[in-house]
Amino acid sequence: MEKISQYEANRLTMAILSNEGIGSSFVLEVEKEYEVSMRPLDIVDRSCRYFGSSYQGRKTGTKDTIGITHKPPIVVDAGNSIYLFPTAASSRPHCSWISHQHIEDFSPAGEAETLVIFSNRKSFTLPVSIHSFENQLYRTAQLRAVISSRVENEKRLFTQLLYSRSPGETFHT
């Protein structure tokens, strides 16, 4: 496992796991794993900032979009389909972040644990109940659906505008 000091979530990021006792993280990517000298929330905030916002801004965006305030999923970057959800309250040291797009399957692994199978077929057991995990997964799906719908509506409106103008007509801003 490669050790690095900083990290931004990207399309290959599957999970940002808390290394609770040390204040660092384990990052699982499709083909690599890293130990990062940053807490998971710091990685999430850095990732949001990399794509032009902040964790707080994305958290507010989730609240305004789907009304979720407790353990909200966030859009790190809609264009790259990077949607993450927390396994606990983000202020908790054991909170990890999971990428919605990389979950293949999940099942209970104990009373308060969930076995997650990722897109690369690797699995990891998280210290979160199956009910809580499933709830977070569905909330993130709802956020993705709303954001995707809005993006598609904007594309459709632009296309209609583009093809409804007269030949030679130009756009004015």
Residue 172 is predicted with a pLDDT of: 62
Given a cut of 80, whether residue 115 has pLDDT beyond it is: yes
- Distance, in Å, from the CA atom of 4 to the CA atom of 27, rounded to the nearest integer, reads 10
pLDDT digits (tens, 9 = 90+) for 56-99: 999 999 999 999 999 999 999 999 999 999 999 998 989 999 99
In degrees and rounded to multiples of 5, residue 83 shows phi and psi of -120, 125
Structure tokens at 33: 């794993």
Quote the pTM value. 0.88
Q: Return the domain boundaries, the chain.
A: 2-164
Alpha-carbon radius of gyration of the chain: 18
Place of tokens 């977070």: 136
Sheet holding 113-118, edge to edge: 103-110, 113-118, 123-126
Q: Is 44 exposed, middle or buried (0-12, 13-18, 19+ CB in 10 A)?
A: buried
